[in-house]
Each structure stands twice: as C-alpha cells, then as structure tokens.
Chain A
Amino acid sequence: MQWETVIGLEVHLQLATQSKIFSGSATTFGAAANTQASAVDLAMPGMLPVLNEKAVRYGVLFGLGIGAEIGKRSVFDRKNYFYPDSPKGYQISQFSDPIVGTGSFDVQMEDGSTRTIGITRAHLEEDAGKSLHEDFHGQSGIDLNRAGTPLLEIVTEPDIRCAEEAVAYLKELHSLVTYLGISDGNMAEGSMRCDVNISLRPMGSDTLGTRAEIKNVNSFRFVEKAIRHEFNRQSDILNDGGTVVQETRLYDADRDETRSMRSKEVANDYRYFPEPDLLPVVIDDSYIEALREQLPELPRQKRQRFASEYQLSAYDAAILSSTREMADYYESVATTCGDPKVAANWVQVELLGRLNRAELDLEASPVSPEALSGLIKRILDNSISGKIAKTVFEAMWQGEGSADDIIEAKGLKQVSDSGELESMVDDIISTNTAQVEQYLAADDAKRKKLLGFFVGQIMKASKGQANPQMVNKILAQKLK
C-alpha cells in the first residue's frame, strides 16, 4: 500500500530574555549547577511567580510575525505532575487561552515552491530543570538552572507531509524567530527543541491514523532522520497488518532509531486549572500596535525583496536572507559595491566557504562587509582579476589590510595598459612558433583551444596580473 505521512510539529522555543519567566534569576547557558536558581525556582514554601513582561512581548511579536490571532486575554494554567526536575510539582503553562491563536506560515521548499503550514497555537510556559543521572552513585542530581526559563511552544496543524517539509518549516521558523530577535535559535544549547507527531494513512484517505510522538529532537538533521525511521517503522507494522500504538517515543541519534519511552507509562492526567497566583494577561490594542510598528522586515519579505530588487534567484535570495546577520551583511556589500549579483556570488561562495572551513559564524568573520565591498569594487573597475581577487581575499582574511592596501603592497594590480600587453603577446608569439603554426593551420574549434594556451602563458608570465579580456583581444588580432 502507498502510505501518506502526516506530521505535526511542536517546537519549544527558548525566548531570549535576560531573566526567567517567573523569577529574576538569570537564564545564561552553562552556569554551574543551581547557581541560577532562586527561591522561586526552587519552589520554596510561600514563593510566588511574577510574570516577565518581556516573555509576553516576545510571544506577541511571534504572533504578529506569522499574522496570527493575538490572545487579548491569555491565562496561565498549572499542569500538574510529579518529577524531581519540576520543583513545584506543576509546570506553569497556558492551556485553554494561549497568547497566540491560529495563524499560518509559508515555507519555501528547496525547489522554490511554497507550502503553507497552519499554526494551531503558541503558548508561553516555563522550562523544567535537569535531572543528572551520572556522577552520583545510585542517586540522581537535580540542576534547576533551566527551571523557569521562558519557552514559547509553537504547535502546527498536521499539515506536514514529509521530512523535507518538516525541515524546511523548522529552518523557516528558525529564521523568523532570530529575525524577530525573540530567540537566539541556538539548537546545540536547546533553544529550539522539537516534538514530532507522526502518523500514516493510505494515500488519498482523509482520516488520521494513530500517531506516535517523538520527543525532544534537537537538530534539523535528526528531525529528518527520525521521521524517515518512524515512517519505515510504522509502514512495516501497517503492511504486516498490525496497528500502530499511540505512544511517546525517543529518537536515539547514535543508533538512528526511535524507541518507546517506558511502555508502562499510562496516559497522564495533568489536571490543568487556572494558576491562581497569576492574573490573566490582558493585552490592549495599543500594546499590539506598538509592537507591530517595531516588527523588522521578516525573512519572507526580505527574500522577495532581494529577488526583485537585486535580481537574485529564489535560491540565492533564500540563502542570503536566511538570518538577519547574513541579510544585513549581504545588503551592506551589495549596496556599497554597486553590483548586487557579484556581491551575492562573493558572499555565498567565497565568504561562506571560507567561514565554513574556519568553522566560524558570520559575526566572527575577519572580513567586514566594507572590506569585502572594497575588494569587489577593484574587480568591477578591472584593477584586479577575479582570480587575483581570491588571493587578495585570503590576505584580507589573514588581517593584512584592505583590498587596496594589499593590491598595492603586493603589486597585484592588473595590467590593462595595451602597449605593455602587446609586447607581452609579441614575446609569447615569438617564443612559441610551433604552437603559432598549429594555430594558423587549425579550424575555428581547435583555434579556441589553442588560444587558451597562449592566454595561459601570458597570465603565467604576468603572474596573473594581465587583464585576461584584453589579452584575448590582442592575441586574436595578432594571430590573424
């Protein structure tokens, strides 16, 4: 049977607030255990939560970013369960009245097509702490630094049909939230964690099959692999006439498989009810409008503008707008150097390639947009060839100064003086008589090939500084 995959994603996005959602403790990643846990985070007796306004603001910004309904009166609820890393015995979350209601999200696929993914809701909640099972003989340690970190849980409709779409959605989401500045989007530090709900149904059916929920998948690549694995697992079961069990599963990246998380676990009754220690969050129109005015240009808008304004391909526009930093970098180079297409090429190929090799983020690039633009200007005004430019770029990367400084210091300026070039051409013709004979005897197709030989000789003699277009022209004339 042909099976259709139906996927819904729940993303836990860590919001980039300085302090926790209900206490004044810092949210810095990687601090020594329990040094960022206040009496509130430890759920000491009599302690009360106080809502961090910034978390609300970030939630609303997200809602505006996807054009969703904003919950004008959202309510925090208690989600009750016992676990050592949940110090109160309940998590403060939002259940029936979330901060963000329904919306949708356009996702660009690699082939340039667009898919619309429905967003069911997004709600604010606090993160749990961490249980540490190593280093304690027969016991567990608890680190509550993460307890109370603000999260926005973003839930999609079951609109996703394959692993590629899931990944494209996540990349787009990542791009959006970093553009909005509401999350650092740092996947390695758990700033974006994904639960994948996946079920299969016969192709063409419109009823949903039984789903499995794969918890806490922490990278785009793992999401893709987890979905592939889960498709295989479920289709094997169904093809054998079996039934899929509704359960929570864990993706094990080391073994590239999903497995059931404790089969004994019965369905939890979280006994949600409105958190009596917090008032409902009432948001008025002026608050929303003020935030709407602060909205930056969003990835989709930027992508479209890059494509039309700078005549970039959809693919190039997508890459160059994938993060706000990248877009700002590119746009700065494009507008100052004067040729957006050449700029696009340099940023994507040379700069990103070099950053990749050095394992650096764009923010850490030793070559600034101004410097790169300075280099491109010298290509555009024929001061240097594209090939020499790569040498200059490497020197810039090594901190040897601006493009002009390096061209000057190393004497790399392209030779475009026709007199000088003509004498170079004469030299080469006189020292390669055999090749000249061949050339003159050859047909047009062969001549092209042989012309390359002469150009190569001249470039070699000039240490790459001869203007190749001019050399071509002069050669063609002289060899007639």
Chain B
Amino acid sequence: MHTNTVAQLALGLQRRDFSSTELTELYLDRISALDDTYNAYITVNAEQALAAAAIADARLAKGTGDALTGIPIAHKDIFCTSGLRTSCGSRMLDNFVPPYDATVIKHFDAAGAVILGKTNMDEFAMGSSNENSYYGAVKNPWDTSAVPGGSSGGSAAAVAAMLAPAATGTDTGGSIRQPAAFCGVTGLKPTYGRVSRLGMIAFASSLDQAGPLARTAQDCAILLNVMAGHDKLDSTSSEEPVPDYTAGLDKPLQGLRIGLPREFFGDGLAASTAAAIDASLKELEAQGATLVEVSLPHSKLTIPTYYVIAPAEASTNLSRFDGVRYGHRCDAPKDLHDLYTRTREEGFGDEVKRRILVGTYALSAGYYDAYYKKAQQVRRLIQQDYLDAFKDVDIIAGPTTPGPAFALGAKSNDPLAMYLEDVYTLAVNLAGLPGMSVPAGFVDNKPVGLQLIGQHFDEARLLNVAHRFQQATDWHTQQGAMPQGK
C-alpha cells in the first residue's frame, strides 16, 4: 500500500478498502521503523495524526470526503502548525509551538488531510543539501551516503522512502525541485503568488513559494488544487482564478513547443545527466512536441543576482528572532546587546549567519546601489529573458541540477560550490515562474530530474507535460534498493 500514489490511496479510502486510521498507522509504523536511517522527520505527529484520521474516517463513512480526505501528508517544518512544534530546522525555534496554522495547513485541514509530521530541512530553508539542519543531515534514500538535496530534503526523502505518500515543500531558489531531482520524486514550485505565504516562515519574501512533492504529476495536481488560491492576508498572493489542475492532465502533447535554453546544456552539466535529459526530451518529441533552441542571455548573472537579493531579504526577515518574544533566548543576558548577540549567535547556524552577513552588507549605505539595486535591475533582465523566450515556446525544459546527488560532506565546506548546485533553478524564482522537476532516469543508480519551466500561472500545462511523460516512462515508479518495510 505504501507504494501507492495519493490518487490510488484516495480511491481506496473512498471505496472503504481501508481506513484513514489504517493508512496513517501504516505510515507511522514505517516512520518509526525506517526514519532513523533517513532522518526525514523532525517531529512525528502520531497522536494527533490518528485523531485526525478518525475524523477523516467519519467523513469518508458519510460519503462527504474530498480528494485528500484521510490522506496522510508530511509538511516541511517551515509551515506553522497550531499546537505542533515548528522549528524551521533551527535551534532558534527548537522550542517554538505556534498558536496558529499557516494558510496552506488550513487548506489541507479543511480538505480532511492528516498531518503525519514535520519534515527536516536546511535551517530557515537556506541550503542545497539538507546538511544545514539543527536536527542533523537527511540521507538520500537512493544512497544513504549522498545528500537528498535541499532545502526541502526531508520532504523529498520522506516521499522517496515512502514515509509519506506526499509532502509539502517550499522553493526559494530550487528548494523543491532540486531535492525532488536528487530523490527521484516529482516536485512543483508554483508561480510566485499562487500559494499563500502566510504562516510560512520567510526566507526571501519575494522568492519564497510553497508547492507539493509527490510520486507523480497527478498527485502534485491533486495537492496543488488544495494549496493554491488567493489569501487576503498575503498581499502578494494572486487573485488569478485557480483551475482544476487534474482536469487537463491527459491532453496530448501534439504541437507543444518546448524551448531548450542553450545556456542550460553547456559547461558544468555532467555528460551522464545530459544524456538522461536528452533521452527524456526525445520521449516528449515522440509524443508530438517540437524542440526549439532558445537563449536566456543573462543566465550567467543568475547566481550573483540571487545571492544578493535572497540574503538581503533574509537578513531582515530573520531580525525578528531576537530572543525577546519567542524561540531561543540565551541564558542570563547581561543587557540588551548581550541578549541579542548571544541569542542569535547560539540560535543560528553558520549558513544562516553567512547569509545574514552577506545580506546586511548588500543593503548597507554605500553598497546598496552597487549590490541590491543593481541585482534588482538584473532580476528584471533575467525575467525579460524568459518572457522573450516564451514568445516562441510554450514551456522551457532542461536539467534540474548539473549532476546527481553528491556525497554528504562533499560541498559543505565550500559555499560557492554548493551555490552552483542551483544554477538551473534560481532564475525561475527570480522570474516568479512555475517550475517542476520530474524523474527522468538514473546516473550511478541515483535519480536525475528533468526540469520543466512554465509561463506565469501555467502550472496546468507543466502538470500535463509531466503527466504525459510519466504515462510513457517508469522512472518515477522505480524504488531501487530501498527497504520496503511492511
């Protein structure tokens, strides 16, 4: 049963083949048996999950269940959950139990989904390997000596190891797509503004976006149906109507124009990964799509632009963690200055401190014009590159990452090498576009992700392409040498 998709499980629940309680118990058992190996969860929500499952079962018995009623879901520990510790992977919030739910959590709750637990992540979503967690690194289920990617590494690993049928994540520069690629699952970062950010702990406000990680594109569509929508409490959330993302999944790809940015297939892309991506693109071509070379001339400016804007926003978003009202507070502060410095020194890890410093510098008087302001100007150029490319193509495709999951510890002392991991994903956030990663083969028995990038609010098309691809391939259903449990 644990190998089933959300769509299959929902059918089973509605047919009463099994109950939500049984399903929830199954996943809780798998977590307790297997998660010592992967460390995908920070907090397991056993008691409340079973209570929620019982409520879902009553609803299902009455026949009033929806697509997600009774389905256990794992949530990245960045979404505030009322009464359930929300750490954001940080010592700073190790003791933080929010008195409110994020809008995303409210939506899942209203749909009758069950919260299995809160998944591990890079501290404050800053990282590409999930090694920056106060709760320890997450292991890649395909190879436990490799990283799962980050920052939504716990969510990707939980889905890959079948410790949850689906999970939520957030993506600021690739944090859904890169771990989805490394763990062989399907992940979608929606258009900026598609999903409410309220109650989602902010990293970089103008880039952060929540999305689903699941086994299939269809499951991502089911989850996005619940997650998407305007929230009057998030001024940056869009009022664009939400379509039924499952409605057009089967549409044939005949006539689809796929843009291949020449900048995504050059130096830096591992040959074996390139080969897997080429084969995937051939499959889409075989289904009637046309492959068109496009150019995104400002691609080489993506990493510097992102690493000015994201840390700048982060540096002030994280100012609220000051030891005054909640979260970590140092022992016996001497005075206000001591309270601030010691609380933050103890509460934040190295990568978070690094980005606060970089961001503070970029916003400082005398540097603002050269860094932050310039980066915002380049950001507009990067977005324009994509808008120009979309004049000729419907979607853009390429690799999600330059290579497969790297070894734990391989890049943890080299921030620049780590930042290069996100070279293909960052621009999508800078441009506010939707992007997906879809399993597209294996290199050294580790998954490869195909990235699909869409126009603003064109998630339905990405899901359609991914779904058609998954109908013709079985990369997403492979389980490798993973332990199966019961």
Inter-subunit contact B325/A277 (CB<8 Å): no
Check if A49 is an interface residue, CB within 8 A of chain B: yes
List residues 278-331 of chain B with CB under 8 A from any CB of chain A: 312-313, 315-316, 318-320, 322, 324-326
Q: Is the CB of A273 within 8 A of B363?
A: yes
Cα A45 to Cα B199 with chains together (Å): 7
A411 at the interface (CB under 8 A from B): no
Q: Which residues of B contact A269 (CB under 8 A)?
A: 364-365
Residues of the B chain whose Cβ atoms lie less than 8 Å from the Cβ of A272: 363, 368
Asked whether, in the complex, the Cβ of A88 is within 8 Å of the Cβ of B198, the reply is no
Residue of B nearest to A279 (CB): B235
Q: Is A271 a contact of B206 with CB atoms below 8 Å?
A: no
In the complex the two chains form, is A43's CB within 8 Å of B320's CB?
A: yes
Complex contact B206–A50 (CB within 8 A): no
Contact A87 B206 (CB under 8 A): no
| Contact among B199, B204, B315, B372 for A46, CB-based, below 8 A | B199
A203 to chain B, nearest CB (A): 35
Give the complex CA separation of A271 and B322 in angstroms. 18
Q: Determine whether the beta carbon of B313 is less than 8 Å from that of A276.
A: yes
Report the separation of the CA atoms of residues A89 and B322 in the bound assembly, to the nearest whole angstrom.
Answer: 8
B contact residues around A209 at 8 Å (CB): none
Q: Known contacts A46-B80, A277-B236: does B320 contact A89 (CB below 8 Å)?
A: yes
Contact call A80/B205, Cβ cutoff below 8 A: no
Give residues of chain A (44-103) contacting chain B, Cβ–Cβ below 8 Å: 44-51, 78, 80, 82, 84, 87-90
Q: How far is the CB of A267 from chain B (nearest CB, A)?
A: 9
> Which of B24-32, B91-99, B125-133, B441-449 is the interface stretch?
B91-99
A82–B201 CB distance below 8 A: no
Taking A39-B99, A87-B325 as contacts, is the C-beta distance between A48 and B319 under 8 angstroms? no
Q: Check A80 against B235 for contact (C-beta < 8 Å).
A: no
A278 CB-CB contact with B under 8 Å: yes
Q: How far is it, in angstroms, between the C-alpha of A49 and the C-alpha of B235 when the chains are bound?
A: 8
Closest Cβ of chain B to A149, distance in Å, is: 18
B-side contacts of A50, CB under 8 Å: 232-235
Complex: A80 Cα to B98 Cα, angstroms = 25
Q: Which residue of A lies closest to B79 (CB)?
A: A46
Question: Is B200 an interface residue when CB atoms closer than 8 A count as contact?
Answer: yes
Contacts A82-B319, A271-B364; is A45 near B88 (CB within 8 Å)? Answer: yes
Residues of A within 8 A of B235 (CB): 48-51, 277-279
Q: Closest CB-CB distance, A26 to chain B, in whole Å?
A: 17
Is A142 interfacial (CB 8 A cutoff)?
A: yes
Q: Is A42 an interface residue (CB 8 A)?
A: yes
Q: Are B363 and A80 in contact (CB under 8 A)?
A: yes
B202 contacts the other chain (CB 8 A)? yes
Provide the bound-state CA to CA distance between A80 and B234, in Å: 21
Asked whether B325 lies within 8 Å of A43 as measured between CB atoms, the reply is yes
Q: Does B340 contact A (CB under 8 A)?
A: yes
**Residues in B whose Cβ lies below 8 Å from that of A78:** 316
The size of the chain B interface, using a CB distance under 8 A, is 43
| A45/B96 in contact, CB under 8 A | yes
Taking CB atoms, residues of chain A closer than 8 Å to B319 are 80, 82, 88-90
Given A80-B363, A87-B324, A276-B205 contact (CB < 8 Å):
yes
Q: Cβ of A45 and Cβ of B93 under 8 Å apart?
A: yes
Q: Chain A nearest CB: distance from B345 CB in Å?
A: 14
Interface of A is mostly: loop
Decide if A273 touches B320 in the complex (CB within 8 Å): no
Which residue of chain A lies nearest to B200 when distances are taken between CB atoms in the complex? A46
Chain B, residue nearest A78 (CB): B316
The answer to whether A48 touches B233, judged by C-beta atoms less than 8 angstroms apart, is: yes
**Complex Cα–Cα for A273 and B322 (A):** 21
B86 neighbours in A (Cβ, 8 Å) = 45
- The smallest C-beta distance from B263 to any residue of chain A, in angstroms, reads 27
Q: With a CB–CB cut-off of 8 A, which chain A residues contact B198?
A: 46-48
Return chain A residues, CB-CB under 8 Å to B315. Answer: 271
Collect the chain A residues with CB atoms within 8 Å of residue B340's CB: 82
CB pair A45 B320 closer than 8 Å = yes
Q: Does B360 contact A (CB under 8 A)?
A: yes
One of B336, B360, B365 near A84 (C-beta < 8 A): B336
Q: Once bound together, how far apart are the Cα atoms of A162 and B363, in whole Å?
A: 39
Closest to B86 in A: A45
Alpha-carbon separation in the docked complex, A54 to B265 (Å): 52
Shortest distance from the beta carbon of B125 to any chain A beta carbon, whole Å: 12
Q: How far in angstroms is the closest Cβ of chain A from B102?
A: 6
The answer to whether B96 and A48 have CB atoms under 8 Å apart is no
Which residues of B lie under 8 Å from residue A278 when comparing CB positions?
235-236
Query: Taking the complex as formed, is B197 at the interface, i.e. its CB lies under 8 A from any CB of chain A?
Result: yes
Encode B191-213 as 1/0 by CB contact (under 8 A) with A.
Answer: 00000011111101110000000
CB under 8 Å from chain B, chain A span 238-293: 269, 271-273, 276-279
User: Is B18 interfacial (CB 8 A cutoff)?
Assistant: no
Instruction: Give B333's nearest chain A residue, CB to CB.
Output: A139
Q: Mark B339-375, 1 if CB is under 8 A from A, else 0.
A: 0100000000000000000001001110010001000
Instruction: Give CA–CA (A277, B231) in the complex, Å.
Output: 13
Closest chain B CB from A424 CB (angstroms): 80
CB nearest to A23 among chain B residues: B233
* Interchain CB contact under 8 A, A273 and B368: yes
- Give the shortest distance, in Å, between B91 (CB) and chain A (any CB): 14
Q: Which residues of A contact B79 (CB under 8 A)?
A: 46
Name the residue on A nearest B318 (C-beta): A89
Interface residues of B in 58-111 (CB under 8 A from A): 79-80, 86, 88, 93, 96, 98-100, 102
List chain B residues, Cβ under 8 A from A90: 316, 319
Inside 8 A of B199's CB, which chain A residues have their CB?
46-47
Q: Would you give the shortest CB distance from B334 to chain A, in whole angstroms?
A: 11
Q: How far is the CA of A216 from the CA of B222 in the complex (A)?
A: 56
> B252 → chain A, closest Cβ, in Å?
39
CA distance A16 to B80 in the complex (A): 33
CB-CB under 8 A from A277, the residues of chain B are 202, 205, 235-236
- C-alpha gap A277/B414 in the complex (Å): 32
* Pair B200/A271 contact, Cβ less than 8 Å: no
Known: A269-B364, A269-B365. A46 touches B205 (CB 8 A): no
Beta-carbon nearest neighbor of A142 in chain B: B324
- Please determine whether B326 and A44 come into contact, CB atoms closer than 8 angstroms: yes
Q: Is the CB of A273 within 8 A of B364?
A: no
Residues in chain A near residue B99, CB distance under 8 A? 39
Shortest C-beta distance, B205 to chain A (Å), equals 4
**Complex formed: what's the CA distance from A39 to B201 in Å?**
13
The 5 closest A-B pairs by CB, nearest first: A89-B319, A276-B205, A271-B363, A276-B206, A46-B199
A-B contact pairs, 18 of them (CB 8 A): A44-B98, A46-B197, A46-B198, A48-B235, A49-B235, A51-B235, A84-B336, A87-B324, A89-B318, A89-B319, A89-B320, A90-B319, A271-B360, A271-B368, A276-B205, A277-B235, A277-B236, A278-B236
- Interfacial residues, chain A to chain B (CB-CB below 8 A): 39, 42-51, 78, 80, 82, 84, 87-90, 142, 269, 271-273, 276-279
B interface residues, Cβ below 8 angstroms from A: 79-80, 86, 88, 93, 96, 98-100, 102, 197-202, 204-206, 232-236, 312-313, 315-316, 318-320, 322, 324-326, 336, 340, 360, 363-365, 368, 372
